Amino acid sequence: MVSLVIDTRNCEQCGTLFVPRREHARFCSARCRVAWNRQHIGGPPTEASALGWTITAMREAIDRLLRAGRLDQPHAFAVISEAVWWVTMVDATLVRYHPDAYDAALASRGPADRLRVEGTFGGLRFVRNWMGYHADHADFIRPQPDPGHPGASPVAAWTWRSLPEPVLAGLPARGQEWEMTRYREYQGHLAGRPVGEAFRLAAAFLDLTSDSSLLGSHYG
């Protein structure tokens, strides 16, 4: 369902009310993030372990999607939904708890590639918020014919459909802004493209970022 994003939240370190620049921001400043890290130095191993099994589950979900042959629509939609859920969960975890590693992974890419990565994740977040809740799976996903064979082509070759602008009147102003950004990223980076393309890119980026997080101790 659509996340009811609030306009302000309290910093987990100093308690100051601040306007988050990111959906999962926890601290009002880098200074507070560093201070929190120092006070919770015993926490990272548990976080690393949780992140590790979450990434394993994501990889398995994406692998199932990429290997899936000709499936009926309900099964194909379930495979795609599972992959969306795991990708956005890992992405949110890295943004929330490992922002330095996440930013470093983005900064290592050229401008065009970085735009593509950010746009792909924004589009997948839009799918997470809307598909199956406010729009049917079939509104998002277009099965592709497989010439010479009955039924549809492999699931990874199915494409994302173009969608009309969502109605966001129930969200606060900042929530509307973020959701419209996700919608535009969906239209610009997913719509009309194969489903498998987005997940291959997402998996490669999250693998790189998580390796940096686990090996470099970027916690907070």
Q: What is the pLDDT of residue 120?
A: 98
% the chain with pLDDT above 70? 81
- The three-point CA angle 122-136-167 to 5° equals 60
User: 165-190 pLDDT, tens per residue?
Assistant: 999 888 888 888 999 999 999 999 99
Domain borders along the chain are 9-41, 45-216
pTM over 0.85: no
Distances (CA, A) of 69 to 63, 64, 66, 75: 12, 10, 8, 11
| DSSP bridge pairs for 160 | 141, 191
pLDDT of res. 23: 66
pLDDT band at 220 (very low <50, low <70, confident <90, very high): very low
Amino acid residing at 50 = A
State yes or no: pLDDT of 197 exceeds 90: yes
Residue 3 falls in which region: left (phi positive, over 0), alpha (psi -120 to 50) or beta: beta
Alpha carbon distance 74, 20 (integer Å): 38
Query: Does 1 have pLDDT greater than 70?
Result: no
Q: How far is CA 54 from CA 27, 59, 61, 83, 93, in A?
A: 24, 9, 11, 12, 9
Between these two residues, 100 and 63, which has the higher pLDDT value? 63
DSSP 8-state assignment for residue 157: G
